[in-house]
Amino acid sequence: MKRDILSLFDLSSDEFAWVIDQALELKEERKTALMAPYCAGQTLGMIFEKASTRTRISFEVGMYELGGHAIFLTPQDMQLGRGEEIPDTARVLSRYLSAIMIRSNHHQTIVDLATHASIPVINGLSDHEHPCQILADVLTIREHFGKTEGLSVTWVGDGNNVCNSLILASAYAGFELHVAVPKGYEPDMKLVQQSKSAGGKIVFFDDPKEAAFNADVLYTDTWVSMGSEDETAARKKIFAAYTVNEELVAAANKKAIVMHCLPAHRGDEITDGVMDGTQSAVWDQAENRLHAQKALLLFLLNNKS
**Measured torsion, CA atoms of residues 188, 191, 195, 198, in degrees rounded to the nearest 10:** 160
What whole-number distance in Å separates Cα of residue 91 and Cα of residue 80?
Answer: 13
In angstroms and rounded to an integer, the radius of gyration of the C-alpha atoms of the chain is 19
Sheet with 201-205, edge to edge strand ranges: 201-205, 176-180, 152-156, 217-220, 257-260
14 vs 54, 162, 177, CA distance in Å? 27, 22, 20
- 8-state DSSP, 148: -
DSSP for 44-60, written as a single string: EEEEESS--SHHHHHHH
CB 260 within 8 A of CB 137: no
Nearest to 290 by CA among 2, 66, 13: 66
Catalytic residue numbers? 103, 130, 133, 221, 261, 289
